[in-house]
């Protein structure tokens, strides 16, 4: 857009503001549309009947007439719209009727005239909106309009501004996408023209943040183009407050000292069992943290064999982290002392801040921290674990199994569920971090760190809200090409959103917006807590697939059917088995088995049949992933199946052939041990379910696509 047009839009918006208005008239909306190339019909503003007749005469065919008033936003509701007006007499009658209806609707409204607009041809109605989301800021929305759109209520969202490709992807992201391509002999619409309407609207709101909403409703899409029949523009009542952001280098520097500290102070440390300060101290000491541990308590000289200090300012040398285990009302004063000590990180365990309505207390703590350059983790958290540093800075049970999974939660209860799951499944973790109220440090800070952390291979996050959705998306886009990011977004329903608000002061936001934008960022969204944990456990185990051909080999026909359903449900594709590969499978399965896909070897086969058919997966370069369905028999017991499968996978990995293999084991309790054995050897396996192994495989595929690896 040229500079002159920018000046035109700026001057118009400034004039509207100066007049104390937040809504633009239809004529003013057209000025913005013309400046950004948003296709709208030709029109003229008529201030009296004669001007309306003359304007209508200049258009070929019938016209639409609409009231123009800065005080009437809903023109149809006011009786201010007449469609299909043709001929001088009808134009005069319509002009009078529209103005009379408007005065009856709002007697004090300022009426600037009547808009005379060319009538658009019939076509598919769609809607294009740009709105200001409390989490993500400017967001553009697209969906079908008209009766069908009202019934389906299927709308897709993207962060604004969108690229041409992102705009085009929105057309395919609604359930009735085929309607736009053409169905049952009906021609499709000009998809490029529709996408351009989306892109240009998104650019308009991105360039002018004071625009709160742009509504093109409806846009009439035809094989020859797409044109907005109406444009509504609303300005924000007041500027949106911006959240403080930190440069990437500053985030990494602070996070390094938080996650790899050389010195930790515990403010509120105690010798008394049952107190949080005692639990934190014991976990740090008994967990084997090799750095310095400094208890701070004005009433003690010695805590757990460590010299205690009256104030954190008395601690010698530098301190990387101060863990606060004191009541919330005392945090502000102690935080000021930490600031004078130049401590870069404060871990605020105590509850009693914004989540209980104490917003002023939390705001004061944040102000003190910002003044002293301290980053805050919490308040209202269980603490955090950094296993590779043998650091357990929490009042909860310790955990020290090192591995590649970083887990975060906004909730303490969920954090402990994470801990229990990790312990039960022997999942090695690089970190477990509580976020609580997220007064400062939040998911985008952690993503930035874990994205660079060599110990972390997969990141899984439970969250109830995002304080800065755009910062999170930016961090996710930088991280996803390197490692998977799994998110469990709580508060999907109205009841869940209300509960989230009372729990951590979370602003849960519109779940449909979250769903689309997390997908746009390449994040894997988990439907539930167990799904998040299983994805986090499985994704580092599975090799990255090189293609989309999935083959099912099963000893039970029923499992094969369910596995096939799961493959489709999770966006995967069953390979069309070519004749030579079909023949290869048939050499090993009994005559009453079934080749094709699934390959059913039947249940009574010996281990040799399982091994021979499974070997064909890694041997054939056309097969990219294997889904195994095992049925417990005495002929091939569960551990025999597990051992032969693990042996085949290991053999081919030694040759450099790595393909994802998942397994579903149906049978008695011995299958549980067999699944654990397989998991530990690189095969993602689950007993009693056909859904979980395929869900994990689907998650790996979603990440590989988002990372640009497929």
Quick one: three-class SS letters along 40-97?
Answer: CCCEEEECCHHHHHHHHHCCCCCEEEEEECCCCCCCCCCCCEEEEECCHHHHHHHHHH
Instruction: Give the model's pLDDT for residue 368.
Output: 98
Give residues with Cβ within 8 angstroms of 507, minimum separation 6. Answer: 134, 135, 465, 501
What is the helix (H) or strand (E) element at residue 219, kind and residue range?
strand 211-222
Q: What secondary structure letter does DSSP report for 403?
A: E
- Provide the pLDDT confidence category of residue 412 given band limits of 50, 70 and 90: confident
Q: Average pLDDT, stretch 207-220?
A: 94
Round to whole Å and give the CA distance between 235 and 228.
Answer: 20
Q: Strands of 429-434's sheet, edge to edge?
A: 391-394, 383-386, 429-434, 402-409, 458-463, 485-489, 524-525
Question: For residues 72 and 115, is the Cβ–Cβ distance under 8 A?
Answer: no
Q: Three-state SS string across 287-339, please?
A: CCCCCEEEEECCCCCEECCEECECCHHHCCCCCCEEEECCCHHHHHHHHHHHH
User: Which of 223, 216, 177 lies closest to 200, judged by CA?
Assistant: 216
Q: Which position has the higher pLDDT, 505 or 351? A: 351
Instruction: Give the model's pLDDT for residue 183.
Output: 81
Q: Which of 1-10, 92-101, 372-381 has the lowest mean pLDDT?
A: 1-10
User: Which of 656, 710, 663 lies closest to 682, judged by CA?
Assistant: 663
DSSP β-ladder status, 124-133 and 211-222: antiparallel
Instruction: Give the model's pLDDT for residue 503.
Output: 40
Partners of residue 302 on adjacent β-strands:
307
DSSP string, 602-667: -TT--HHHHHHHHHHHHH-TT--EEEEEEE--SSS-HHHHHHHHHHHHHHHHHTT----EEEEEES
Question: For residues 195 and 140, is the Cβ–Cβ distance under 8 A?
Answer: no
Residues 296-330 have pLDDT tens digits of 999 999 999 999 999 999 999 999 999 999 999 99
Q: How far apart are the first and last CA of the chain?
A: 36
Residues 692-704 have pLDDT tens digits of 999 999 999 999 9
What is the helix (H) or strand (E) element at residue 538, kind and residue range?
helix 529-538
* Rg of the chain on CA atoms, in Å: 31
Phi, psi of 317 (to 5 degrees): 75, -175
Long-range contacts of 163-170 (CB under 8 A, 24+ apart): 163/199, 164/195, 164/196, 164/199, 166/520, 167/195, 167/196, 167/198, 167/199, 167/202, 168/192, 168/195, 170/140, 170/142, 170/195, 170/198
Which two structure tokens, joined as six digits, stand for 547?
């293609």
Q: Which residue has the tokens 């519109």?
A: 510
- Whether the pLDDT of residue 497 is over 60: the answer is no
Phi, psi of 446 (to 5 degrees): -65, -40
Q: Average pLDDT, stretch 100-122?
A: 92
String of b and e for 434-470 (b: at least 16 CB within 10 Å)? bbbbbbbbbbbbbbbbbbbbebbbbbbbbbbbbbbbb
Phi, psi of 431 (to 5 degrees): -165, 150
Q: What secondary structure letter does DSSP report for 23?
A: B
- Provide the pLDDT confidence category of residue 2 given band limits of 50, 70 and 90: low
| 242-245-251 Cα angle (round to 5) | 165
- Provide the pLDDT confidence category of residue 75 given band limits of 50, 70 and 90: confident
Instruction: Give the model's pLDDT for residue 331.
Output: 97
3-state DSSP assignment of residue 345: strand
Round to whole Å and give the CA distance between 659 and 624.
Answer: 6
Cβ atoms < 10 Å from Cβ of 230? 20
Instruction: Give the model's pLDDT for residue 217.
Output: 86
Residues 543-602 have pLDDT tens digits of 999 999 999 999 988 999 999 999 999 999 999 999 999 999 999 998 887 778 999 998
Q: What secondary structure letter does DSSP report for 355?
A: G
Tally of residues, the chain: 710
3-state DSSP assignment of residue 374: coil
Q: Average pLDDT, stretch 196-205?
A: 97
String of b and e for 493-519 (b: at least 16 CB within 10 Å)? eeeebeebbebbbbebbbbebbebbbb
Give residues with Cβ within 8 angstroms of 608, minimum separation 6. Answer: none
User: Which of 334, 335, 337, 294 lies closest to 317, judged by CA?
Assistant: 294
Partners of residue 383 on adjacent β-strands:
394
Give the predicted TM-score (pTM) of the model: 0.89
- Provide the pLDDT confidence category of residue 53 given band limits of 50, 70 and 90: very high
Residues 152-195 have pLDDT tens digits of 578 999 999 999 999 999 999 998 899 999 887 788 999 999 99
Share of the chain above pLDDT 70, in %: 96
3-state DSSP assignment of residue 442: coil
The distance of Cα 599 from the centroid of its chain, to the nearest Å, equals 36
Round to whole Å and give the CA distance between 562 and 588.
Answer: 23
Q: Which of 4-8, 196-200, 446-450, 453-457 has the lowest mean pLDDT?
A: 4-8
Give residues with Cβ within 8 angstroms of 59, minimum separation 6. Answer: 42, 116, 118, 119
Q: Average pLDDT, stretch 208-214?
A: 95
């Amino acid at each position: 857009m040229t500079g002159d047009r920018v000046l035109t839009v700026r001057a118009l918006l400034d004039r509207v503001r100066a007049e104390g208005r937040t809504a633009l008239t239809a004529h003013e909306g057209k000025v913005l549309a013309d400046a950004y190339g948003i296709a709208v019909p030709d029109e003229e503003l008529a201030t009296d009947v004669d001007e309306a007749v003359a304007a209508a005469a200049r258009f070929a065919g019938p016209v639409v007439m609409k009231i123009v008033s800065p005080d009437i936003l809903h023109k149809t509701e006011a009786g201010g719209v007449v469609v299909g007006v043709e001929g001088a007499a009808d134009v005069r009658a319509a002009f009078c009727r529209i103005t009379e209806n408007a005065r009856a609707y709002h007697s004090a409204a300022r009426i600037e005239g009547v808009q005379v607009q060319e009538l658009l041809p019939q076509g598919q109605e769609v809607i294009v909106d740009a709105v200001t989301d409390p989490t993500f800021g400017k967001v553009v929305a697209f969906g079908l309009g008209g009766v069908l759109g009202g019934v389906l209520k299927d709308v897709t969202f993207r962060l604004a501004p969108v690229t041409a490709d992102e705009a085009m992807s929105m057309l395919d992201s609604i359930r009735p996408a085929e309607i736009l391509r053409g169905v049952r002999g009906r021609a499709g619409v000009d998809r490029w023209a529709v996408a351009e309407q989306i892109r240009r609207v998104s650019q308009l709101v991105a360039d002018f943040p004071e625009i709160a909403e742009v509504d093109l409703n409806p846009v009439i899409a035809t094989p020859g183009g797409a044109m907005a029949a109406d444009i509504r523009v609303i300005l924000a009542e007041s500027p949106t407050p911006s959240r403080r952001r930190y440069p990437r280098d500053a985030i990494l520097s602070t996070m390094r000292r938080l996650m790899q500290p050389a010195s930790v102070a515990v403010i509120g440390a105690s010798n008394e069992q049952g107190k949080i300060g005692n639990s934190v101290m014991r976990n740090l000491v008994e967990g084997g943290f090799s750095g310095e541990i400094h208890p701070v308590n004005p009433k003690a000289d010695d805590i757990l064999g460590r010299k205690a200090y009256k104030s954190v300012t008395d601690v010698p040398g530098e301190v990387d982290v101060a863990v606060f285990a004191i009541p919330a009302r005392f945090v502000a004063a102690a935080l000021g002392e930490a600031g004078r000590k130049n401590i870069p990180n404060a871990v605020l365990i105590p509850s009693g801040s914004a989540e209980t309505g104490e917003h002023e207390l939390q705001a004061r703590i944040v102000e003190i921290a910002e003044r002293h350059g301290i980053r805050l983790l919490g308040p209202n958290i269980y603490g955090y674990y950094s296993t590779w540093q043998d650091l357990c800075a929490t009042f909860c049970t310790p955990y020290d199994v090192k591995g590649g999974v970083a887990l975060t939660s906004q909730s303490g209860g969920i954090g402990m569920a994470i801990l229990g799951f990790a312990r039960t499944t022997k999942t090695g973790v690089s970190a477990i971090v509580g976020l609580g109220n997220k007064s400062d440090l939040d998911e985008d800070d952690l993503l930035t760190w874990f994205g660079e952390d060599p110990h972390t291979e997969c990141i899984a996050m439970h969250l109830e809200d995002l304080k800065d959705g755009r910062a999170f998306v930016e961090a996710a886009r930088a991280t996803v090409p390197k490692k998977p990011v799994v998110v469990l977004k709580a508060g999907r329903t109205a009841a869940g959103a209300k509960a989230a608000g009372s729990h951590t002061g979370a602003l849960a936001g519109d779940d449909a917006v979250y769903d689309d934008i997390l997908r746009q960022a390449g994040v894997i969204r988990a439907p539930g807590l167990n799904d998040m944990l299983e994805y986090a456990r499985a994704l580092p185990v599975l090799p990255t697939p090189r293609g989309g051909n999935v083959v099912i080999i099963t000893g039970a026909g029923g499992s094969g059917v369910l596995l096939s359903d799961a493959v489709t449900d999770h966006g995967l594709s069953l390979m069309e088995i070519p004749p030579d590969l079909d023949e290869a499978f048939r050499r090993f399965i009994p005559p009453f088995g079934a080749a094709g896909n699934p390959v059913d070897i039947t249940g009574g086969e010996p281990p040799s049949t399982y091994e021979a058919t499974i070997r064909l997966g890694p041997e054939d370069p056309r097969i990219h992933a294997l889904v195994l369905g095992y049925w417990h028999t005495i002929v091939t017991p569960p551990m025999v199946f597990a051992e032969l499968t693990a042996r085949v996978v290991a053999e081919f990995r030694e040759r450099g052939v790595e393909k994802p293999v998942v397994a579903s084991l149906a049978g008695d309790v011995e299958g549980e041990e067999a699944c654990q054995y397989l998991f530990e050897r690189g095969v993602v396996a689950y007993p009693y379910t056909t859904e979980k192994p395929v869900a994990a495989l689907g998650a790996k595929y979603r990440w590989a696509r988002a990372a640009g690896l497929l």
